[in-house]
Structure 1
Amino acid sequence: MLPCINKQLFGFECPGCGLQRAAALLFKGDFAGAFEMYPAIYPLCFLFVFLFLDVLWKKRNFSGITAGLATISTVFILCNYILKFL
């Protein structure tokens, strides 16, 4: 795994810390472990799927779905980041 430069330089984790490990757990089939490691993994996965579909399938408009998923992902990331410090 790549080390977190933010953690090495400043001594605290960034909002993305845990994403690599969660993706590795997801590929291994440990879905609960991936969620525990980084709760935003699932909204981000759905977001990337719909972004890909938006590029691939121009006749459909997925902008509303992608905007909603981007908002949900941001909320998950920020809540997870705040809960790490509590």
Structure 2
Amino acid sequence: MTFLLFTKAEDFMLPCLNKKLFGMECLGCGLQRSVALLFQGEFVAAFKMYPAIYPLIMFIGFIIASTFTNIKLIERLKYGFAIITISTIIISYIIKIIN
């Protein structure tokens, strides 16, 4: 029990296989660290680490909420949130590669 109290979230993070095998970051690199920063209350640092974290959270929250409620045009909203999230992931990845 005392072992769990003194461990950090970073100790349990999975390495990126794409980065290890090919030396390039993948589209999801930074997501785990961003979530860890969110749990620590570092909201700006979480955004800087993985800019798609907030659209992704909103998309997942909408998917969960849509299973419990009956909303008109739910399919269009799902596609809209998905497009925003995927666009944010791709644009931030391109910016990361350029810099």
Q: Same fold (TM over 0.5)?
A: yes
Match of 1:22 in 2: 34
**Unaligned segments of structure 1, at least 5 residues:** none
Q: Which has the higher contact order (CA 8 A, sep 6+)?
A: 1
Matched ranges for 1:4-83 at <5 A: 4-57=16-69, 59-61=70-72, 62-83=74-95
Q: Identify unmatched segments of 5+ residues in structure 2.
A: 1-12
Q: TM-score, normalised by structure 1?
A: 0.92
* Alignment RMSD: 1.0
Q: Distance in 1 between matches of 2:32 and 2:71?
A: 31
Return the alpha-carbon distance in structure 2 between the equivalents of residues 25 and 66 of structure 1. 27
- Percent identity at matched positions? 48
SS at match of 1:49: helix
Give the AA of the match of 1:60: I
Q: Which amino acid aligns with 1:10?
A: F
Q: Which structure would you say has the larger Rg?
A: 2
Alignment: residue pair count: 85
CA distance in 2, matches of 1:35, 1:65: 23
